[in-house]
Chains A and B, each alone.
Chain A
Amino acid sequence: MATSIAAPRPMSAEEKKVIFASSLGTVFEWYDFYLYGSLAAVIAKQFFGGLDPTSAYIFALLAFAAGFIVRPFGALVFGRLGDMIGRKYTFLVTIVIMGTATFIVGLLPNYATIGIAAPIILVALRMLQGLALGGEYGGAATYVAEHSPMGKRGAYTAWIQTTATLGLFLSLIVILVTRELTGPAFEVWGWRVPFLLSIFLLAVSVYIRLSMNESPAFAKMKAEGKTSKAPLSESFGQWKNLKIVILALIGLTAGQAVVWYTGQFYALFFLQSIAKVDPKTANLLIAASLVIGTPFFIFFGSLSDKIGRKPIILGGCLIAALTYFSVFPMLLNYANPGLVAAQKAVPVTVTADQATCSFQGSPIARPIDFTSSCDIAKRTLTENYIPYKNVAGPAGSIAVIKLGDKEIPSLNATLNDKRDAFSPDSGKAIADFKKAVVETAKTAGLTAKADDKTMNKGMVLAVLVFLVILVTMVYGPIAAMLVEMFPTRIRYTSMSLPYHIGNGWFGGLLPTTAFAMVAATGDIFYGLWYPVIVASATFVIGMLLIKETKDVDIFAND
């Protein structure tokens, strides 16, 4: 274990094996995890289609919780295990859990066959996936970092940073090939194939990982009897460690997560829903930007070994915060200039008693939670991503949407006796109201789909690549930095939690938060305040309170 920077040399065979084994397994874990999201519509049909709306809603909520709550919990469970018994065996366990859970989804009989047991088991399996993923990343990053020589940690761990994107691509490739090969049978049984394939990926990963040695740092610590007996208490119960965990979250991973989610996922949502680009084109453009951007994970990880982790990660956060409000309007203009022109020509307002307008940001809200005329009006416009301004109306008045010169009054809705749907009259009235609004908006060009003839695909791609480059700046060096912030004995535990809280909560809440902000204000760019504020806060906190770590001897406190 070097304490000074080694002379430059090529990667040794052992180091290549370590990086390959760790990265490959992590790609497969992401593949397993993303399969569920990529096949969400088919899964819903197979497992939730027979449920009543309330039950379906609860199951969807639980499945969502797998990414939101369970990942950080998995970080705690497996972080603790990894610091007590070793990295190698812990991240063998995570991949066995993930692979097995995924494989069982492929075998699971659907709702039509085994009734309510089907969605229950499915969601339990999804929770297991979240748990496993929560343990995987910390293990892989720690394992690779502890094998890396000084001065190369950023370059080596950067390979782990490519795995989420590669896993996503792999899941899509397998799905598309399976669709091609099974044709109409895909919706019946073909969808199971990508899940079943996981068992082979699992076998490969387990075989490779079993042949690996334990991290030398951990092995030495274990031999000397210096491992932690209670990593959770040490990590979070002692202020000297807890403050670094908190700093890692608010000064690094929170900003990283919002830049990641904005560049990879919010950009896609923006293109499809706000710019109204057809889904295939939008997804292809995003895919192309990710392909072009992926090598930059390695570039920035390597660069961070020379110029430092902080300048790149925090630089990415700063550039994101300073440019998002320019870049997204640019994206809209390049993708759908006709829509931009219509929005300027036909202003839209919602005049309502503001006391009747509720908060629309709850991630667990359903349409039936919004019965006031203001909420129905706002949701109608927001669901179609039509920008509008709020105007205060008289107390007790019904909300009115005005598109140009045309006024359309909203309505107060009522629920049925079971309170699980709108009453038939309200349901019909809401549908009529929405139809009137959408038709008027359509005539005004406010719902105009992006036209291939006027879309500047080259510039759209350039903007998307810029967003992805920001992603690679904040994410490329971060594995190395998180590892460097904590001592070996509590490293797996301590670095996993801020990573999964940052990415699971700050990042995971981005779509719903952004939607809520758009819904509240009618400004289709207002949602960008969320990543801008979080990235700015991370920049300030990181600059002031986090020390550069590239030259840290990660074994100094062992």
Chain B
Amino acid sequence: MWKLVVGFIVFAGLALYLLMKGGDIDMSGEKHGLLNAHVVVKV
């Protein structure tokens, strides 16, 4: 169990570090509906 805890902490730490460093991140996962599609197709 402790290995999992450590593993999760490492994964979480790495995730947050990379997310802080990276400029353009989007935690919204699935794009629902076409509210986003209007943004998405306007390129």
Contacts and interface: CB of A to CB of B under 8 A. Distances in A.
B15 A173 contact: yes
Contacts of B35: 511-512, 515
Nearest to A53: B41
Contacts of B15: 169, 172-173, 287, 291
A307 interface: no
Contacts of A290: 27
Contact of B34 (A33, A173, A280, A366): A366
Interface residues of B, number: 31
Interface string B1-43: 0000000100110111011111111111111111111111101
A508 B35 CA distance: 12
A379 to B, nearest CB: 11
Interface string A157-177: 000000000101100110111
Nearest to B9: A291
Contact of A173 (B14, B29, B36, B37): B14
Given A172-B15, A287-B16, A295-B8, A61 B34 contact: yes
A166 B10 CA distance: 13
A91 B40 CA distance: 32
Given A41-B43, A44-B43, A176-B21, A363 B33 contact: yes
B25 A60 contact: no
Given A264-B29, A268-B27, A57 B41 contact: yes
Contacts of B14: 173
A265 interface: yes
B24 to A, nearest CB: 8
A385 interface: no
B41 A291 contact: no
A422 to B, nearest CB: 14
A497 interface: no
A64 B31 contact: yes
A284 B31 contact: no
A38 B26 CA distance: 6
A62 B30 CA distance: 14
Contact of A268 (B22, B28, B32): B28
Contact of A40 (B16, B27, B36): B36
Q: Is the interface of A mostly helix, strand, loop or mixed?
A: helix
Interface in A20-56: 33-34, 36-38, 40-41, 44-45, 48-49, 51, 53, 56
Contacts of B40: 40-41, 44, 48, 60
B32 A508 contact: yes
Nearest to A66: B30
A284 B23 CA distance: 11
A46 to B, nearest CB: 9
Contact of A280 (B11, B23, B32, B36): B23
Contacts of B36: 40
A508 B13 CA distance: 30
Nearest to B37: A60
Given A57-B41, A287-B16, A64 B33 contact: yes
Contacts of B34: 57, 60-61, 64, 363-366, 512
Contacts of B32: 64, 67-68, 265, 363, 508-512
B22 to A, nearest CB: 4
A198 interface: no
Contacts of A175: 22
A75 B24 CA distance: 34
A286 interface: yes
Interface string A45-89: 100110101001100110110011000000000000000000000
Contact of B19 (A45, A64, A172): A172
A288 interface: yes
Contacts of A33: 30
Contacts of B12: 169, 291, 294
A228 interface: no
Contacts of B31: 36-37, 40, 63-64
Contacts of A64: 31-34, 37
A179 interface: yes
B25 A168 contact: no
A11 to B, nearest CB: 9
State the 4 A-B residue pairs at the shortest beta-carbon distance, nearest first.
A60-B37, A176-B22, A512-B33, A56-B41
Given A64-B32, A287-B19, 11 more contacts: A53-B41, A60-B37, A63-B37, A67-B30, A176-B25, A177-B18, A268-B27, A283-B26, A287-B16, A509-B33, A515-B35
Interface of B: 8, 11-12, 14-16, 18-41, 43
10 contacts: A37-B31, A60-B34, A63-B31, A67-B32, A172-B26, A180-B21, A279-B24, A279-B25, A280-B23, A364-B34
